[in-house]
Structure 1
Amino acid sequence: MKLKIPQYQLSEVLNMMAFKGISEADIKTMMDLGILREHYYRYNSTIFKAGEITEELGIVIKGRVIVENVDYWGSKSILSSALPGKVFGETYALSGHKLMIDARATEPTIVFLLNAQDIMSGKYNSYPWHLQMLKNLLLLSSRRSLTLSLHIFYIKPKKIRERVSYYLSGLASSLGTTEFDIPFNREQFADYLNVDRTALSKELSNMQSEGLIEFKKNHFKLLELDHEELT
């Protein structure tokens, strides 16, 4: 069976935050130098594995990557879902710390792997793109800190409805719209919120019956938010 490898245009890549201020020629130069490389991953392929050390961070070009936290006993919980333009593994690539996460493709996926240690080493200071890439890495690192802080905020409430409401409200605010797709299927959404899948499905149905939301699979529309209930 012939593999269906996702296709992309380099112009799409240039619009991604990781390559802000970077030209097509700059990307080709980084690839020639081995700092940046393209890799295709099949469904459920592991990209990063807990316990390993990586100097590279991943940038999703096409497809989707799930990032999971793995504890000592092998239990996993979803930390984030990376869609095209999103970055994963940057904290470990920048710090040199052993990975405490697994990253895997949840569909056929193209990833650019960027060697963060090479960018920070200074040996490419003479290249015109070097300073801009350093700025981009700093911005990406700060955004990762925000993402992790938001996840803690979302799962802090005890009630499932509060966790759902906080997450959907936060996503609506960041996207600037009350109708959107979440980057999870139902099982992944339950895992991300650290709740039981059946209990989550029941609560979503209750919220829909009460006229708070409409949803179909991973598509949601916020109809009303009872802020008094969230306090």
Structure 2
Amino acid sequence: MNKLFISLQNSNLFKGKSLNEIKTLLSKIIYNVQSYKENEIIFSPHQLADTMGIILSGSIDIEQLSPSGKIIILKRKNSPDLIAEPSLFSKSKYYPSTVAVYKSAKILLIHKNQLLKLFLIDNDIMLNFLESVSDSMLILKHKISILSLNSIQERIVAFLIHAYKNTNSTVITLPFSKKAWAEYINVSRTSLSRELRNLEIEGIISFDRHTIEIKDLEKLEEILF
């Protein structure tokens, strides 16, 4: 049980809470811890959006079906990320996307009625929830703006410029593998590698397995703007 509290302590929802505080809060609500296998669906657009989750272990993908029938991975989430929290209090009754397991996962599930109960018990939990929803919306907006770009190079550049603005550093540590990065911007890994090499040949960036260094920010911006 202590592992549960430690995982939750690292989550956005229980940010700033001690293990004893989390234990006390959970004792006042009903929740469920569920295990899921790889590729299993946790939430789908056919389900009522009445429950959110906190990833205790493993990882999940938030997927969207394009008009052409292709599955687009909007985001990959890992422990201790929240899942489906922006859907709970929307006017839409259903989840907007599919949440599927990428690697076998254990999820703590909280019904929105129980979440409202937590809000009444502890105002900090409500503020943490609102902050998490806001951050999720900003990330989704950024993802959509990238996918709206026509060329692969533009998508790569938009990602790099966004990372530069967030860190104020020309050395960018990739938060995921190149395979996951390719999925994030909806291109093939081969195409991603090819365009990265082209940018390196032009002297705009240099890259290795885990990091990318922006050598010429002005030229990088010219590609996009």
Instruction: Report TM bin, short chain.
Output: 0.7 to 0.9
User: Relative to structure 1, is the Cα distance of residues 56 and 80 closer, same or farther in structure 2, using a 3 angstrom cutoff?
Assistant: same
1:103 equivalent in structure 2: 99
2:127 equivalent in structure 1: 135
CA deviation string 1:169-212 (max 9, x = no partner): 323443565242333552x4334323344433321232234441
Q: Does 1:160 align with 2:152?
A: yes
One-letter amino acid of the structure 2 residue matched with residue 229 of structure 1: I
Q: Does 1:228 align with 2:222?
A: yes
TM-score (norm 1): 0.78
Given that residues 65 and 104 in structure 1 are in contact (C-alpha distance below 8 angstroms), is that contact kept between their aligned partners in structure 2?
yes
User: Relative to structure 1, is the Cα distance of residues 175 and 56 closer, same or farther in structure 2, using a 3 angstrom cutoff?
Assistant: farther
TM-score (norm 2): 0.80
CA deviation string 1:91-119 (max 9, x = no partner): 22232621231112222323222323332
User: Relative to structure 1, is the Cα distance of residues 59 and 215 closer, same or farther in structure 2, using a 3 angstrom cutoff?
Assistant: farther
User: Relative to structure 1, is the Cα distance of residues 180 and 201 closer, same or farther in structure 2, using a 3 angstrom cutoff?
Assistant: same
1:113 equivalent in structure 2: 109
**Structure 2: tracts of 5 or more residues without a match:** none
Q: Give 1:79 deviation, angstroms.
A: 1.0
1:146 to 120, 138, 141: 138
User: Relative to structure 1, is the Cα distance of residues 42 and 209 closer, same or farther in structure 2, using a 3 angstrom cutoff?
Assistant: farther
Query: C-alpha distance in 1, partners of 2:74/2:7?
Result: 26
Query: C-alpha distance in 1, partners of 2:102/2:52?
Result: 18
**Structure 1: tracts of 5 or more residues without a match:** 1-6
Q: Does 1:181 align with 2:174?
A: yes
Q: How many residues align?
A: 218
1:81 to 73, 76, 101: 76
User: Relative to structure 1, is the Cα distance of residues 209 and 42 closer, same or farther in structure 2, using a 3 angstrom cutoff?
Assistant: farther
RMSD: 2.9
Q: Give 1:124 deviation, angstroms.
A: 7.1
Give identity over the alignment, percent: 23
